Amino acid sequence: MNIRTLIVDDEPLARERLRAWLEAEPGVTVAGECGDGRQALEAITKEKPDLVFLDVQMPELDGFGVIAALGNAIPPAIIFVTAYDQFAVKAFEVHAVDYLLKPFDRERFRASLRRATQHLEQQQSGSLRQQLEALMADLRPTEKAPARLAIKTEGRVLLLKTSEIDWIEAADNYVVLHSGGHTHLLRETMTSLEGRLDPAKFVRVSRSAMVNVDQVRELHPLFHGEHVIILRDGSRVTLSRNYRDKLKNLGLS
């Protein structure tokens, strides 16, 4: 079989080494390489690779953020490239998602590639999402979700109760908090904030939006698996088809 592979790493030398090793392997085609998580999202959607070598630690959008943003569109096989400590490594092993711990040699690389090849040949991709979700749950901080968010504005700090937030919108490296007809700008990425908020209260419904479950009034189906969410204040937020599995979190299925 021919394995179409994508390389994602913010270190040019690391990408160069992986490309050289992959191109020397029979039955492997390098479909492209990316230097950050946002490029990876576009490349995975466009190229639909069989296998992705995905760096965990990248600025702005890390490897876990890429997985979360892809929703149901994750590739059949992923090999994480990481400099995480032994706790994280054990989590990868338990959930049968392969990894390369930096720095790694060619022998370890080949062993990882063989494992991914077997995974693809056995067509086990149906369980990959569950494996990744379990992995991210293990690595997600266990601290209590904040009851308030501190927002710096006009020389003062506003303490906004999370229960008062209607929905959240992404804006590059910021998020816009919509609350009672007012908006507040917070310097934090959507993925980072999602990891801090209570997942039972705040649900990601697209790459660029998250809603407070308690503020959802209606939900109407659109075309191609998308839905429009109507909040209590009348705001309308689109639930992307890649996030259809979040319907159960909104009390629907």
The single residue listed with the structure tokens 């979040």 is 246
Assess whether 195 and 122 both reside in one domain: no
207 versus 85: the higher-pLDDT residue is 207
**β-bridge mates for residue 27, sequence order:** none
- Check residue 183 and give its pLDDT: 94
- Check residue 94 and give its pLDDT: 44
Report how far apart, in Å, the C-alpha atoms of 21 and of each of 98, 100, 109 are. Answer: 17, 14, 8
Per-residue pLDDT tens for 187-200? 888 888 888 898 88
Helix (H) or strand (E) run with residue 250 in it = none
Per-residue pLDDT tens for 78-104? 888 887 665 466 556 545 468 888 888
User: What percentage of the chain exceeds 70 in pLDDT?
Assistant: 83
* The pair of three-digit structure tokens given for residue 29, joined into one six-digit string: 């085609």
The single residue listed with the structure tokens 């062993």 is 111
Residue 26, pLDDT > 70, answer yes
Domain range for 210 is 148-250
Assess whether 58 and 152 both reside in one domain: no
Q: What is the mean pLDDT of residues 111-117?
A: 90
- Check residue 29 and give its pLDDT: 95
Residue 107, pLDDT > 80, answer yes
Neighbours of 39 (CB within 10 A): 17
- Check residue 96 and give its pLDDT: 40
DSSP symbols for 55-113: ES--SSS-HHHHHHHHTT---SEEEEEE---HHHHHHHHHTT--EEESS--HHHHHHHH
Q: What is the mean pLDDT of residues 6-16?
A: 94
Assess whether 80 and 153 both reside in one domain: no
Per DSSP, 24 falls in state: T
Q: Which long-range contacts (CB under 8 A, 24 or more apart) does 213-221 make?
A: 213/249, 213/250, 213/251, 214/163, 215/166, 215/167, 216/250, 216/251, 219/247, 219/250, 219/252
* CB-neighbour burial class of residue 217 (10 A; exposed 0-12, middle 13-18, buried 19+): exposed
Average pLDDT, the chain: 83
CATH code for the domain in which residue 205 is found:
2.40.50.1020
Cα gap 194→146, rounded to integer Å: 11
CATH code for the domain in which residue 12 is found:
3.40.50.2300
DSSP symbols for 140-168: S--SPPPSEEEEEETTEEEEEEGGG--EE
Local structure of 44: helix, strand or coil: helix
Assess whether 10 and 79 both reside in one domain: yes
How many domains does the structure of the chain reveal? Answer: 2
